[in-house]
C-alpha cells in the first residue's frame, strides 16, 4: 500500500526532460524523494520531433530519478503540451427522470457526458473535462448536487482537447523505455496544482508557465478552471531572437540570456557593452547591453500582450483577485515581472512549487513546477478529492483509449 | 558688539557670486551664466588675457598682468601663485560684499592650482560662504598634473566651507562614449551648473519646510570639506521615485554608493503644489536606506506655484573627516600628498619630471587642455569602440542599421511547424517584426 502512494511525474520538455518521484501522504502532504533530469534532444516547442533521441533522454532522466530517489519506476504521469492543445467551456444538461427527484451519481455522469458531446475535429480527443459549476433548476453555485432534489441538472465543463496522434507520440516515447503511462495531464493543469493554493484558486488567478518551447497558461476562477491554453512561444524563442539579433551562435545566445539578459529597458548605461568571452572558438565580440535587453523585452512584451488578448474575451480580468503567477524556466529572466505587470496591469508574482517538502533545491526551482505538479495531481486524482473527483473517472477511459492504440 | 557672518542674516536674499578661476573656471562660469537664468553675479579671473577677452562675464580680472604679461601661467602653479599675489587687491575687491561665493576652477593647471588657495582665503576673510566647485584632471593628463591638483585641493579645502570635487574621468559617465568632445564638456558643466543652481534654489526658495543657509552650513560645515551632490528632475505618476533615481545616478554620488560614507545628508525636494507627503516620505526613506545609520539627515521642502512644475530632488551630502576615504576620490594613479601647502608639489617634481615630460607644453595652461581631449576621449570612454560604427550613439532606437536581414529569419525554427497567431509568424524575432512595422 505504501508503494501506491509514490507517484512519478515526467515532463518531456523542450530544454530538459525531468522526472520527479514524490511520496504522497494521505493528509495531502507531498514529499519529493528525488528529481532526475537530462538535457533534452529531439524536442521542439514541447513536442517530439525525433523519437529516438527523445527516448534516450527520457531513459536518462528516469534512471537519474531512480538513482536519486532509490525507487524503481514502473509507471509515470506524463505532462503533455504543444500548440495543438485547445480548450473551451461547454454546458451540458439533463432532465431528472421523475420530476423533482433526487440527483444521483448517475445524473452527474450523464451531464458530463452531455457536456462532452460536441463536435471536435476528427483527429482530436478530449484530454480533460473539468467541472466548473452545477446548476440545479437554474440555481447557480451548486458545488455538489448529489442528493439534492431538482427537475433539471446543468453543468459547465472546461474541456481541454488535443490532437490524438501528437499526444500518442509522447506516450510512445515513454513506453519505449518499458514504463507505463498512468495518465497524461496538460502542463498548465499540472503546474497550477502546486503553484496555486486553494485560496488562490478561489479568488482567481492566472498561471503562466513559460518553458523552453511553449507557454502554458490556465485561469482559475471561483475554484474552477475557467480558461486554459498553450502558446508555442517560449525561452527558445528568446534565445533564437538573441542569436539572430546579435549574430551569435545559439549556444552563446542561451548563455548570454541566462547570464546577462534582462527585460528591463533604460537601466543600462548608454553604450554599455558586454564582452563575449572567447570560449567557443569565435573571437571576442562586444554586444550592446541595451540591444540585448531590448530583444528580450520585445519578445516578452509581445508574449504577454498576446496572452492578455486571448484572455480578454474569456475572463473578466478584474475578478483575478490573486493576480498573475509566472513559473517555468523563463520566470528566472530578470525583469520579467516588471514587463508582465506593465502588460497585465495587475500584480504579478514569480512562483514555484508550494506546499511540498523535500530537497529545497528541487521545489525552489521554477523549472520543476510542472513535474512536481504532476505528482500532486496524481495524488489528488487518486485520493478523489472533491474538487478533482470527476476528472479521475474520465481518465480511466482515456488511458483506455491510449492503451489500445499503443 | 556681537558680530556674525553676513550670510547668516536671512532678512534679505543673499548675494550669490560665481567666480571662475583659470581657463576651465572661465568656461564653466560662461556656460552657467549663459544657460541658466539665475540671479548670479559672475566674476572671472584668469592670467590668460585671451580667455578673458572671449568671456561673457560682467567682471573680468586679469591676474598678474606683469608676471605673466597676459599669457597665462603655462601649467606652473608657482607662476599662478605669483600672479595671484600681484593681483591680491583685485581679488579682494572681487570677493567683497558677497554672501555666497561659488569658486569654480579646473585644478591641475597653472592659474587655478596656484591661485585657488589665495582666492579661497580672501573669500573666507570677506565673510562669505565659500563653496568650491572644482574638477581634477583626466587620468591621461599625467601624474604631475594630478599631484598639482591634489595640492591645490588641499589648499582650497583648508578655507572653503564645502568642496564639490568632480573628476574629469567621470565625464565618460555623463555623456555617451562616442559623443563629441564639446558635448561631453557641456554635460560636465551642466552637472556643475545644476549643483550651483540647486544650492541657490535651496537657500532662496520659500516652502513649508525651508532650508536656509544655516541649515546648509550645518551640513557642509566641518569635516574635510568634500561634498557629494546629485540632483534629479521628474514629472508624472512615479515622479518621486524617478527624480530620486535620477539624483542618485549622479556620478558625484557614484550611484548612491557614496552616501553610505556621508556624515550628514541634506535632501531638498522642490515641487508643484500637488507634491504629496507620501512622495516626500518615499524619497526620504530611500535616502535613509542608502545613508549610514548615524548620519544626520536634513530635509527641506519648497513648493513653486506653477502646477506643472516638475519634482526636483537635490541631495547634498558631506563626508565625515574620518570616512573621507571613499569621498576623497583622488585618481588612483597618485596617493594623496601629505598635509599642507605647496611643498609636496616641489618634492614630487623631481621624480616625476623626467617620465612625464610631454605634459609640460605651455599650451597645457588650461586645465581642460583643448588639444588633448579629441585624441583621448576614447580611453576615457569605458567600452572600447571596436564594433561597427553604425551601432554608435546612446539611443537604443538607432538599431536598424545593424540588422540587415532577409525579411523572414526564423533561425532554429526554420524547419518545424511555425507558430502563427493572428497572421503573424511568432518564430520571427519580435524586434524584427516591430521594426518592419514601423517602416
Q: Name the residue in chain A with its Cα closest to that of B384.
A: A273
Question: What average pLDDT score do residues A217-233 get?
Answer: 91
**Of B176, B412, B427, Cβ closest to residue A271:** B176
CB pairs under 8 A between A and B: 93
- Lowest average pLDDT, out of A137-141, A162-166, A224-228, goes to A137-141
Cβ B384–A288 below 8 Å, yes or no? no
More reliable by pLDDT, A254 or B65: A254
Tell me: pLDDT of B369 over 70: no
**Of A271, A286, A295, Cβ closest to residue B431:** A295
Does residue B343 sit within a domain? no
Tell me: pLDDT of A99 over 70: no
Cβ B178–A271 below 8 Å, yes or no? yes
Question: What average pLDDT score do residues A113-130 get?
Answer: 88
How far is it, in rounded angstroms, from Cα B364 to Cα A27? 83
**Predicted pLDDT at B386:** 43
**Of B383, B403, B419, Cβ closest to residue A272:** B383
Contact B338, B141 (CB under 8 A): no
**Of A49, A237, A271, Cβ closest to residue B383:** A271
pLDDT band at A355 (very low <50, low <70, confident <90, very high): low
pLDDT 10s digits, B57-103: 778 888 877 777 777 777 778 888 888 888 888 888 888 888 888 88
Tell me: pLDDT of A353 over 90: no
Residues of B with CB under 8 A from a CB of A: 173, 176-178, 381, 383-384, 386-387, 391, 393-396, 399, 403, 405, 409-413, 416-417, 419, 421-422, 426-427, 429-432, 434
Looking at residue A131, which CATH number applies to its domain? 3.30.1490.110
**Of B173, B387, B403, Cβ closest to residue A245:** B403
Per-residue burial over A258-294, b if 16 or more Cβ lie within 10 Å, else e, is eebbbbebeebbbbebbebeeeeeeeebbbbbbbbbb
Cβ B411–A244 below 8 Å, yes or no? yes
pLDDT 10s digits, A356-383: 777 666 667 888 888 888 988 888 887 7
CA distances from B177 to B379, B381, B391 (A): 10, 5, 12
**Predicted pLDDT at B117:** 84
Residues β-bridged to residue B111: none
- Distance (Å) from the alpha carbon of B412 to chain A's nearest alpha carbon: 7
Residues of A with CB under 8 A from a CB of B: 44-45, 49, 83, 231-233, 236-237, 239-241, 243-245, 250, 265, 269-273, 285-286, 288, 290-291, 294-295, 298-299, 301-302, 306
pLDDT band at A10 (very low <50, low <70, confident <90, very high): very high
Phi, psi angles (nearest 5°) of residue A205:
-155, 150
**Predicted pLDDT at B173:** 64
- A227 and A147 within one domain: no
**Predicted pLDDT at B127:** 80
Mean pLDDT of chain B: 70
pLDDT 10s digits, B169-191: 766 566 666 677 777 777 777 77
- Lowest average pLDDT, out of A174-183, B248-257, B312-321, goes to B248-257
Range of the domain at A132: 86-160
Tell me: pLDDT of A151 over 70: yes
Does residue B247 sit within a domain? no
Does residue B30 sit within a domain? no
Cβ B396–A291 below 8 Å, yes or no? yes
Question: What average pLDDT score do residues A47-70 get?
Answer: 91
- Report how many domains make up chain B: 1
Does residue B432 sit within a domain? yes
**Of B176, B386, B432, Cβ closest to residue A270:** B176
Cβ B384–A286 below 8 Å, yes or no? yes
Tell me: pLDDT of A404 over 60: no
**Of B381, B384, B431, Cβ closest to residue A241:** B431
- A205 and A136 within one domain: no
**Predicted pLDDT at A252:** 86
Does residue B143 sit within a domain? no
**Of B391, B396, B413, Cβ closest to residue A240:** B413
Which residues of chain B lie closer than 8 angstroms to A298, CB-CB? 429-431, 434
- A150 and A296 within one domain: no
Does residue A54 sit within a domain? no
Does residue A150 sit within a domain? yes
**Does the CA dihedral B332-B337-B340-B343 come out positive or negative?**
negative
- Lowest average pLDDT, out of A159-163, A285-289, B35-39, B359-363, goes to B359-363
Question: What average pLDDT score do residues B25-49 get?
Answer: 78
Does residue B286 sit within a domain? no
Does residue A382 sit within a domain? no
- Lowest average pLDDT, out of A198-202, A333-337, B47-51, B378-382, goes to B378-382
- A348 and A246 within one domain: yes
**Of B177, B386, B430, Cβ closest to residue A298:** B430
**Predicted pLDDT at B256:** 65
- Lowest average pLDDT, out of A309-323, B266-280, B410-424, goes to B410-424
Which residues of chain B lie closer than 8 angstroms to A81, CB-CB? none
**Predicted pLDDT at B358:** 41
How far is it, in rounded angstroms, from Cα A147 to Cα A250? 60
Which residues of chain A lie closer than 8 angstroms to B238, CB-CB? none
**Of B399, B412, B426, Cβ closest to residue A250:** B412
Cβ B417–A45 below 8 Å, yes or no? yes
- Which range has highest mean pLDDT (A94-98, B68-72, B216-220, B330-334)? A94-98
Tell me: pLDDT of B123 over 80: yes
**Predicted pLDDT at B160:** 80
**Predicted pLDDT at A29:** 77
Does residue A240 sit within a domain? yes
Q: All 3 cell numbers of residue A74?
A: 514502473
- Distance (Å) from the alpha carbon of A204 to chain B's nearest alpha carbon: 26
Question: What average pLDDT score do residues A4-33 get?
Answer: 85
- Which range has highest mean pLDDT (A47-56, B23-32, B93-102)? A47-56
**Of A236, A270, A306, Cβ closest to residue B394:** A270
Which residues of chain A lie closer than 8 angstroms to B403, CB-CB? 245
More reliable by pLDDT, A399 or A96: A96
Residues β-bridged to residue B60: B44
Q: Cα Rg for chain A, rounded, in angstroms?
A: 22
pLDDT band at B11 (very low <50, low <70, confident <90, very high): low
Q: All 3 cell numbers of residue B347?
A: 618634492
How far is it, in rounded angstroms, from Cα B65 to Cα A183? 97
More reliable by pLDDT, A52 or B385: A52
Answer with the one of A336, A353, A370 that is the final residue of a domain.
A353
Contact B383, A283 (CB under 8 A): no
- Report how many domains make up chain A: 2
- A287 and A152 within one domain: no
- Grid look-up 573666507 returns B124
Tell me: pLDDT of A390 over 60: no
Tell me: pLDDT of B342 over 90: no
Cβ B396–A265 below 8 Å, yes or no? yes
Which residues of chain B lie closer than 8 angstroms to A44, CB-CB? 413, 416
More reliable by pLDDT, A389 or A153: A153
Which residues of chain B lie closer than 8 angstroms to A271, CB-CB? 176-178, 381, 383, 393-394
More reliable by pLDDT, B265 or B38: B265
Does residue A342 sit within a domain? yes
Q: Which of A60, A79, A31, A57 is nearest to A363 (CA)?
A: A31
- A334 and A250 within one domain: yes
Tell me: pLDDT of B115 over 90: no
- Distance (Å) from the alpha carbon of A93 to chain B's nearest alpha carbon: 34
Question: What average pLDDT score do residues B139-143 get?
Answer: 79
Q: Which residues does A230 contact at the CB level (< 8 Å), separation at least 6?
A: A46, A81, A82, A83, A84, A85, A86, A186, A187, A188, A214, A215, A216, A217
Tell me: pLDDT of A51 over 50: yes
Range of the domain at B419: 403-438
Which residues of chain B lie closer than 8 angstroms to A241, CB-CB? 429-431
- Lowest average pLDDT, out of A85-94, A345-354, B322-331, goes to B322-331
**Predicted pLDDT at B238:** 75
Q: Name the residue in chain A with its Cα closest to that of B246.
A: A267
Which residues of chain A lie closer than 8 angstroms to B394, CB-CB? 270-271
**Predicted pLDDT at B290:** 76
Which residues of chain B lie closer than 8 angstroms to A291, CB-CB? 391, 396, 399
More reliable by pLDDT, A80 or B331: A80
Q: In the 8-state DSSP scheme, what is residue B338?
A: -
Tell me: pLDDT of B298 over 50: yes
**Predicted pLDDT at A76:** 92
Which residues of chain A lie closer than 8 angstroms to B384, CB-CB? 286
Answer with the one of A160, A190, A219 that is the final residue of a domain.
A160
Question: What average pLDDT score do residues B263-276 get?
Answer: 83
* ipTM reported for the complex surpasses 0.90: no
pLDDT band at A77 (very low <50, low <70, confident <90, very high): very high
pLDDT band at A208 (very low <50, low <70, confident <90, very high): very high
Q: In the 8-state DSSP scheme, what is residue B294?
A: T
| Burial grade of B305 (CB within 10 A; 0-12, 13-18, 19 or more) | exposed
pLDDT band at B5 (very low <50, low <70, confident <90, very high): low
Cβ B416–A301 below 8 Å, yes or no? no
Does residue A283 sit within a domain? yes
- A148 and A287 within one domain: no
Cβ B429–A44 below 8 Å, yes or no? no
How far is it, in rounded angstroms, from Cα A329 to Cα A336? 12
Does residue A180 sit within a domain? no
Tell me: pLDDT of B439 over 60: no
**Predicted pLDDT at B155:** 83
User: In sequence order, what DSSP letters do the residues of B139-195 get, joined into one string?
Assistant: GGG-HHHHHHHHHHHHHHHHH-SEEEEEEGGGHHHHS-TTS-HHHHHHHHHHHHHHH
**Predicted pLDDT at B22:** 84
From the candidates A245, A249, A265, A276, which should be mutated to test the interface with B, based on the most B CB atoms within 10 A? A245
Which residues of chain B lie closer than 8 angstroms to A245, CB-CB? 403, 429, 431-432
Q: In the 8-state DSSP scheme, what is residue A128?
A: E
Q: For a pLDDT cut of 90, what percent of chain A falls above it?
A: 32
Element (H, E) at B317: strand B311-319
From the candidates B431, B433, B437, which should be mutated to test the interface with A, based on the most A CB atoms within 10 A? B431
How far is it, in rounded angstroms, from Cα A86 to Cα A54? 24
Cβ B383–A301 below 8 Å, yes or no? no
More reliable by pLDDT, B423 or A151: A151
Does residue A33 sit within a domain? no
- A311 and A247 within one domain: yes
Amino acid at each position: 500500500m505504501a508503494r501506491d502512494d509514490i507517484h512519478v511525474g515526467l515532463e518531456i520538455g523542450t530544454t530538459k526532460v525531468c522526472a520527479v518521484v514524490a511520496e504522497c501522504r494521505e493528509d495531502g502532504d507531498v514529499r519529493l524523494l528525488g528529481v532526475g533530469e537530462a538535457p533534452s534532444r529531439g524536442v521542439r516547442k514541447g513536442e517530439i520531433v525525433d523519437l529516438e533521441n527523445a527516448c534516450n533522454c527520457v531513459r536518462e532522466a528516469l534512471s537519474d530519478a531512480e538513482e536519486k530517489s532509490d525507487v524503481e519506476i514502473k509507471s509515470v504521469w506524463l505532462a503533455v503540451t504543444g500548440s495543438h492543445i485547445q480548450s473551451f467551456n461547454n454546458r451540458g444538461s439533463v432532465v431528472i427522470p421523475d420530476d423533482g427527484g433526487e440527483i444521483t451519481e448517475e445524473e452527474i455522469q450523464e451531464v458530463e457526458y452531455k457536456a462532452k458531446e460536441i463536435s471536435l475535429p476528427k483527429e482530436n480527443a478530449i484530454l480533460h473535462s473539468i467541472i466548473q459549476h452545477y446548476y440545479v433548476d437554474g440555481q447557480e453555485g451548486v458545488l455538489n448536487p448529489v442528493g439534492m432534489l431538482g427537475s433539471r441538472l446543468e453543468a459547465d465543463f472546461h474541456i481541454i482537447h488535443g490532437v490524438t496522434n501528437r499526444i500518442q507520440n509522447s506516450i510512445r516515447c515513454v513506453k519505449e523505455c518499458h514504463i507505463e503511462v498512468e495518465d497524461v495531464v496538460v502542463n498548465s493543469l499540472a503546474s497550477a496544482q502546486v503553484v496555486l493554493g486553494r485560496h488562490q484558486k478561489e479568488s482567481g488567478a492566472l498561471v503562466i508557465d513559460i518553458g523552453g518551447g511553449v507557454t502554458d497558461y490556465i485561469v482559475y476562477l471561483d475554484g474552477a478552471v475557467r480558461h486554459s491554453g498553450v502558446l508555442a512561444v517560449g525561452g527558445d524563442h528568446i534565445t533564437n531572437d538573441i542569436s539572430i539579433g546579435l549574430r551569435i551562435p545559439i549556444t552563446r545566445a542561451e548563455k548570454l540570456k541566462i547570464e546577462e539578459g534582462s527585460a528591463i529597458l533604460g537601466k543600462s548605461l548608454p553604450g554599455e557593452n558586454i564582452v563575449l568571452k572567447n570560449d567557443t572558438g569565435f573571437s571576442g565580440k562586444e554586444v550592446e547591453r541595451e540591444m540585448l535587453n531590448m530583444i528580450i523585452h520585445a519578445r516578452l512584451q509581445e508574449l504577454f500582450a498576446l496572452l492578455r488578448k486571448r484572455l480578454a474575451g474569456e475572463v473578466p480580468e478584474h475578478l483575478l483577485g490573486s493576480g498573475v503567477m509566472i513559473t517555468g524556466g523563463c520566470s528566472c529572466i530578470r525583469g520579467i515581472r516588471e514587463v508582465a505587470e506593465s502588460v497585465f496591469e495587475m500584480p504579478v508574482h514569480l512562483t514555484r512549487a508550494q506546499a511540498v517538502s523535500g530537497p529545497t533545491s528541487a521545489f525552489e526551482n521554477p523549472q520543476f513546477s510542472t513535474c512536481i505538479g504532476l505528482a500532486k495531481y496524481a495524488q489528488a486524482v487518486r485520493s478523489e478529492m472533491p474538487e478533482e473527483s470527476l476528472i479521475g473517472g474520465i481518465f480511466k477511459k482515456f488511458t483506455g483509449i491510449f492503451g489500445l492504440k499503443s | 558688539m556681537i558680530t556674525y557672518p553676513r550670510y547668516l542674516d536671512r532678512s534679505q536674499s543673499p548675494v550669490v557670486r560665481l567666480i571662475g578661476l583659470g581657463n576651465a573656471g572661465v568656461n564653466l562660469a560662461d556656460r552657467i551664466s549663459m544657460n541658466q537664468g539665475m540671479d548670479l553675479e559672475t566674476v572671472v579671473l584668469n592670467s590668460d588675457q585671451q580667455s578673458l577677452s572671449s568671456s561673457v562675464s560682467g567682471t573680468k580680472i586679469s591676474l598678474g598682468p606683469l608676471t605673466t604679461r597676459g599669457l597665462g601661467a603655462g601649467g606652473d602653479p608657482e607662476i599662478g601663485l605669483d600672479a595671484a599675489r600681484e593681483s591680491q587687491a583685485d581679488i579682494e575687491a572681487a570677493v567683497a560684499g558677497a554672501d555666497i561665493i561659488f569658486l569654480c576652477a579646473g585644478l591641475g593647471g597653472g592659474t587655478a592650482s596656484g591661485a585657488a588657495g589665495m582666492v579661497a582665503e580672501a573669500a573666507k576673510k570677506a565673510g562669505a560662504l565659500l563653496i568650491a566647485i572644482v574638477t581634477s584632471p583626466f587620468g591621461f593628463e599625467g601624474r604631475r598634473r594630478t599631484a598639482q591638483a591634489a595640492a591645490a585641493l588641499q589648499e582650497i579645502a583648508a578655507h572653503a566651507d564645502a568642496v564639490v570635487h568632480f573628476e574629469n574621468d567621470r565625464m565618460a559617465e555623463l555623456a555617451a562614449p562616442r559623443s563629441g568632445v564639446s558635448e561631453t564638456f557641456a554635460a560636465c558643466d551642466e552637472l556643475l551648473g545644476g549643483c550651483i543652481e540647486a544650492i541657490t534654489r535651496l537657500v532662496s526658495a520659500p516652502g513649508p519646510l525651508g532650508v536656509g543657509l544655516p541649515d546648509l552650513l550645518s551640513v557642509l560645515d566641518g569635516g574635510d570639506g568634500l561634498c557629494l551632490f546629485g540632483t534629479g528632475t521628474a514629472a508624472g505618476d512615479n515622479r518621486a521615485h524617478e527624480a530620486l533615481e535620477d539624483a542618485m545616478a549622479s556620478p558625484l554620488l557614484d550611484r548612491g554608493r557614496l552616501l553610505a560614507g556621508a556624515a550628514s545628508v541634506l535632501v531638498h525636494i522642490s515641487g508643484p503644489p500637488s507634491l504629496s507627503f507620501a512622495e516626500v516620505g518615499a524619497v526620504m526613506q530611500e535616502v535613509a536606506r542608502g545613508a549610514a545609520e548615524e548620519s544626520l539627515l536634513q530635509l527641506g521642502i519648497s513648493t513653486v506655484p506653477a502646477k506643472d512644475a516638475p519634482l526636483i530632488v537635490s541631495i547634498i551630502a558631506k563626508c565625515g573627516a574620518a570616512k573621507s576615504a571613499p569621498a576623497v576620490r583622488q585618481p588612483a594613479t597618485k596617493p594623496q600628498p601629505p598635509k599642507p601647502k605647496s611643498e609636496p608639489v616641489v618634492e614630487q617634481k623631481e621624480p616625476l619630471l623626467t617620465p612625464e615630460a610631454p605634459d609640460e607644453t605651455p599650451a597645457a595652461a588650461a586645465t581642460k587642455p583643448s588639444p588633448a581631449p579629441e585624441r583621448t576621449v576614447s580611453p576615457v570612454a569605458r567600452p572600447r569602440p571596436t564594433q561597427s560604427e553604425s551601432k554608435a550613439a546612446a539611443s537604443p532606437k538607432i538599431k536598424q542599421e545593424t540588422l540587415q536581414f532577409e525579411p523572414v529569419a526564423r533561425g532554429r525554427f526554420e524547419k518545424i511547424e511555425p507558430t502563427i497567431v493572428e497572421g503573424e509568424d511568432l518564430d520571427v524575432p519580435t524586434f524584427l517584426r516591430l521594426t518592419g512595422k514601423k517602416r
